Structure 1
Amino acid sequence: MIADNTPVIIGVGQYSERVGEPHYEALSYMDLAGRALAAAIADSGASEAVAPAIDTLAAIRAFEMSRPGREPPFGAASNVPRAIAKRAGADPQRAILTPTGGQTNQQLVGEFAANIAAGDSQCAVIVGSEAISTVLALSAKGEKPDWSEEVEGDFEDHGFGVEGMMENALFAHGAAGAIPLYALAENARRAKLGKSLDEYRRDIGELFEPFTKVAANNPHAAAPIERSAQELATVTERNRIVAEPYTRMTVARDQVNQAAAIIVASAARARALGIPEDKWVHIHAVTAATELMLSNRPDLSANPASIASVEAALERAGKGMEDMRYLDFYSCFAIPVFNQIDHFGIAPDDARGLTLTGGLPFFGGAGNNYSAHAICEAVQAARKDRGAYALVGANGGWMSKYATGIYSTDTADWSANDRYAKLPDANNAVPAAKGAFSKAVVETYTINNTKTGSVAVFLGRNPDGERVCGNADLEHGPTRALFEGGKPFGARLSVIQDDKGRNIGRVA
């Protein structure tokens, strides 16, 4: 007999729509999320009503409300979690609007499972959605529907959660956003491997080619098109460089209309709701870790917190990577995947595959909620392949936060309530320079191409060994040639400060 306070996933649901396709409704993100939650309830196969049993509901914060001062262009509910809940007929005692971060939904599975094991909850939901594709499509036509609504009831706003991700110096130098920030880490790995830009783009293409095959067979994928490694790697007008080394096709696709929901319940509540045990999927481990800020990391190419999270989850589950039959490594860009497979010795073409959805560039990067889709797929895989284990790695920020979950129909013993853990933070930060500097050695860089032009951003060290950032002067011929040539690593720059306080470097 499985103990009454054992947490189990009882239902998962996904919902999506693509602009212009048959039955497209231009749903708001609250409506999309409500559809996903209804799908998760139906998926449970319960003989009793599930919605009234939900005591906790966490709404994953949509991208449109993920930064201070950012307002959703079409408005939003005054109480997002309760707006979603009411669409499925639920009225939870506890409603939560989560922080920003793609690791959040995976981490909440662990937190809610621990609450259930402790007897503080009986049935909890994690649900989120994005409607960015619809927002852009309607805005382009000059349409502005009103998605605002007043919803009564209290809720916990857990804030934006962007602490440790605000790289203000890098932002000021033109690396303002995920693409150039990840590109800095990606080029640091490229430097370590000694590869040219073309060679490295080929590596990315070979990594992601199998992802496109999975996406092509996923009905919820935003871009269900199979592509070759060569197509992904070749620079064309349509597949332009967005930030070196990334082509457009190999970065996370945020133009999606997707939603996903996960229901976790105690075994006692699952029995009371009449949910067949063949629907139960056990949570064998969830671990969460926080990384140093990008500019403070000793190795700019590495993400040791994510590795520690995965290793700790495997240890808590009593398994090895070789025991995982299903894998979904967060793939907003190539380097979070490379970090994992480099460490664990997994080939890019591993027969298990490295994604369950098709990955963020092809399935779609559904904002902070992508990994809910991965968890849904892991649950379905575990149900079909009983006794097999699935691992989901969820990433947030610029490889800033990571959470890992391990799932199987095999029973997990939660009697000690020790299967969820948040790991200690690193304490080996490289100090950032304070004040002006005149010399720097380049560690990594990217050339970020925007609508207003191209800017070369570098990270490096000053003579005191402190971390510095700046812009390479692309108007200086030798400097431009060095950076556009793709191998400025180790170059010594002379640096001045311009009238905006930016550090401008030229080849010394």
Structure 2
Amino acid sequence: MSNNNTPIIVGVGQFVSRETPTHGHVLSALDIAGEAGRRALHDAGAKTDLNAQVEVMAVLRLFEDSTRKVAIVNNPFGGSNNVPGSIARRIGVSPRENIYCAVGGQTPQRLVNQMSERIHRGEIGCALLVGGEAIANIKYATRNGIEIDWNEELDDDFTDLWPVNNADNMVSAYEMAHGLFLPVQAYPLFENVWRHKAGHSVEQHRRVMGTLFSRFTQVAAANEYAQFPTVRSAEYLATPSAENYLLSEPYTKWMVAQDSVNQGAAVLLTSVGNARAWGIPEQQWVSLHGYGDCDDVNVIDRPDLSVSHAQNLAVGRALESAGRRIDEIAHIDAYSCFPIAVLSACTAMGLDPATEHPLTLTGGLPFFGGPGNNYAMHGIAEAVARVRGEPGSYALVIANGGYLSKHSVGVYGAAPLAEWRAVDSSEIKQQLQAHPRAPVTETPHGAGVIESYVAAYRRGQPAIGYIIGRQASDDRRFLAIAADGDGDTLNGLFDSEPLGRAVDVTRRDGVNQFRFASD
């Protein structure tokens, strides 16, 4: 029998809206998150009113609030000055602690890890984790001139984790000055190195990515909460077209996370003792059997750009702490904002990416939908449903934030552990710090070789190009851009195989610039 303080998940809720907004009826992200929270409370099936039991509510940060320097979502309709408080009112709960979380796709899984520890220590008795996005509604209303006023003013206190948010620390000033910021202009750095190591041309790798993600579309098509429940073939995904246009080499539109969604998800946690006292049926209980958290160093410092060593460590710690091998895991949800996120996760799990084992429970961020920082909450909800439906089975959720930067992983099973133990990730964090780093120079000069690159489009035309290279004189890594107006250099990133090509690097106004070396 499990101890009374063993933490368990007792409720999950998901919501999706595919309705076309109309004047007077446009769901906000707070409305969507509120509905997901209500569903999670109802899902527990308690004999007691659980609304009165929620002590802590943690809300995933809206995408529109996730950057300060560059807006990634333009919301002209306003919002709440207290997002957690507004969602709590919609759900009908009055937590003593309302939290507005930090940034990152790892956050839902990290919250489950953290709240489980707090419940186990007896600090809290019940926590509700909730998030939602209404970016599709925002975009539709903006395009169609629908007027909305989502402004809300509350006097209640809440904890805003932005001051301790590490999003700004994921990228250095040096990296940002040379173009590394938006994910679609960062993940190609990893993807191109992976394909080069695999011996693929750009076109060959597009077919590999198309095959991988075509299987994800089949899962999304069968998921009632998917935003885009359509089966798409490998050929369709790999072939640029007017509808599936190129974004950044080697990605087409449908190979990357789609944030134009209206989706919400929530998870309710408590202890075994409380679950018994509140009359929550045991068939609703799901336990976190193992977990791991580890954040990687900045992109420029990673010795191998095709993988994340921090992800390897986090996945390994989660499986080890659960006492499970990967072949004992029946259900896997690998974060899938870009194909390389799945390929890197396969490396961490020791799986061939061509495996027939499904690698998503939702359908993935491009096809299920990519609701900002909250996607992994949907993955956890699906994992809970799977292990409830197959007692004795285990599920693995791999969550990723930033640029393969922040990793949180959980192993789930329906049977609560007889003796639950908190997992110490400090050792793997020390291992990460001891791991070799690439030598870097911020002031390269002269000859170099391209190690990886980004070639991004704007409205179908080559627009942005930068490289990570190695200085010929000492093999130190550097960043450099194609100078404005240098069409020959920019086009060279799109028209040929840039990897391994020789370049000449100069520095101007604090920014490194490159040209292809003369033959």
Question: What TM-score, normalized by structure 1, do the two folds share?
Answer: 0.95
Residue 453 of structure 2 is matched in structure 1 by 445
Could you tell me which residue of structure 2 aligns to residue 16 of structure 1?
A: 16
Is the contact made by 1:101 and 1:161 (CA closer than 8 Å) also made in structure 2?
A: no
| Map 1:101-180 → 2, pairs under 5 A | 101-159=104-162, 160-180=165-185
Residue 47 of structure 1 is matched in structure 2 by 47
Contact kept in structure 2, 1:19 and 1:134, CA below 8 Å? no
Deviates more, 1:339-348 or 1:471-480: 471-480
Distance 1:351 1:461 in 2: 37
Task: Within 5 Å, give how 1:77-476 maps onto structure 2.
Answer: 77-159=80-162, 160-415=165-420, 417-419=421-423, 421=425, 423-424=428-429, 426-427=432-433, 428-435=436-443, 437-451=445-459, 453-462=462-471, 463-472=473-482
**Aligned equivalents of 2:41, 2:491: Cα separation in 1:** 58
SS in 1 for 2:346: helix
Structure 2 SS opposite 1:424: helix
Give secondary structure in 1 for the equivalent of 2:167: coil
User: Unaligned stretches of 5+ in structure 2?
Assistant: none
Q: Can you list the C-alpha shifts for 1:77-129, whole angstroms capped at 9, x where unaligned?
A: 11111211121111111111110000011011010000011110110111111
Compared CA separation, residues 21 and 356, structure 1 to 2 (3 A): farther
**Structure 1 residue runs without a partner (length 5+):** none
Separation in 2, partners of 1:84, 1:237: 39
Offset, 1:418:
2.4
State how far apart, in whole Å, the 2-side matches of 1:373 and 1:507 are: 48
| Letter of the structure 1 residue corresponding to residue 118 of structure 2 | N
> Equivalent residue of 1:264, what SS?
strand
1:231 Cα deviation (Å)?
0.8
The letter of the residue matching 2:515 is: G
Q: 8 Å contact 2:291–2:319 — kept in the other structure?
A: no
1:506 and 2:498 correspond: no
Q: Number of aligned pairs?
A: 507
Cα distance 1:334–1:48, how it changes in 2: closer, same or farther (>3 A)?
same
Contact in 2 for aligned 1:79/1:150 (Cα 8 Å)? yes
Q: 1:483 to 1:258 in 2, by over 3 A?
A: same
2:6 is matched with which residue? 6
d(CA) in 2 for partners of 1:486, 1:111: 47
Q: Contact conserved, 1:324 with 1:391, CA < 8 A, in 2? A: yes
Distance in 1 of aligned mates of 2:81 and 2:485 = 49
What amino acid maps onto 2:144 in structure 1? Answer: K
Cα distance 1:473–1:484, how it changes in 2: closer, same or farther (>3 A)?
farther
The alpha carbon displacement at 1:130 in A equals 0.8
Indicate the residue corresponding to 2:62 in structure 1: 62
C-alpha change, 1:420 and 1:10, in structure 2 (3 Å) is farther
CA contact (8 A) 1:19 1:137 kept: no
Mapped to 2, the partners of 1:201 and 1:25 lie a distance apart of 40
* CA drift at 1:164: 3.0
Deviations 1:186-211 (A, max 9, x none): 00111111210110000001111110
Where do 1:27-46 residues align within 5 Å? 27-46=27-46
**Deviation (angstroms), 1:461:** 1.8
Cα distance between partner residues in 1 of 2:67 and 2:292: 26
Please say if 1:74 is aligned against 2:77: yes
Contact 2:480 2:512 (8 Å CA) reproduced: yes
Return closer, same or farther for 1:495/1:250 CA change in 2, 3 Å cut-off. Answer: same
Q: Structure 1 residues 363 and 406 mapped into 2: Cα distance closer, same or farther (>3 Å)?
A: same
| C-alpha distance in structure 2 between counterparts of 1:39 and 1:480, whole Å | 50
Cα distance in 2, alignment partners of residues 272 and 76 from structure 1: 38
Alignment CA distance shift 1:344-1:286 (3 Å): closer
Alpha-carbon distance, 1:429 to partner: 2.8
> Structure 1 pair 489/24, CA: closer, same or farther in 2 (3 Å)?
farther
Cα 1:493/1:407, change in 2 over 3 Å: same
Report the alpha carbon displacement of residue 348 of structure 1 after superposing the two structures with TM.
3.8
Identify the range of structure 1 (375-384 vs 70-79) with the bigger mean alpha-carbon deviation: 70-79
Contact 2:448 2:504 in 1 (8 A): yes
Once the two structures are overlaid, the 10-residue window that deviates more, 256-265 or 338-347, is 338-347
Deviation of the 1:356 alpha carbon: 0.3
Moved more, 68-77 or 129-138: 68-77
Amino acid paired to 2:464: V
**Deviation of residue 467 (structure 1)?**
2.0
Kindly provide the CA deviation profile for residues 48-82 of structure 1, in whole angstroms up to 9, marking residues without a partner as x.
10111001110000110001265743222111112
Residues 183 and 24 of structure 1: CA distance in aligned 2, closer, same or farther (over 3 Å): farther
The offset of 1:174, in angstroms, is 3.5
Q: What CA RMSD, in Å, does the superposition of the two structures yield over aligned residues?
A: 2.2
Give me the whole-angstrom Cα distance separating, in 1, the residues matched to 2:231 and 2:404: 27
CA deviations 1:373-430 (Å, max 9, x no partner) are: 0000000111110110000000000100010011111222445x32363541523332
Output the CA distance in 2 between the equivalents of 1:475 and 1:193.
Answer: 34
Contact 1:313 1:406 in 2 (8 A): yes
Amino acid paired to 1:39: R
- Flag the 1:51–1:318 CA change in 2: closer, same or farther, 3 A: same
Question: C-alpha separation between the residues in 1 aligned to 2:386 and 2:210?
Answer: 26
The amino acid of 1:456's aligned partner reads: G
Alpha-carbon distance in 2 for matches of 1:73, 1:474: 32
Checking the alignment, whether the CA contact within 8 Å between 1:473 and 1:506 is kept in structure 2 is no
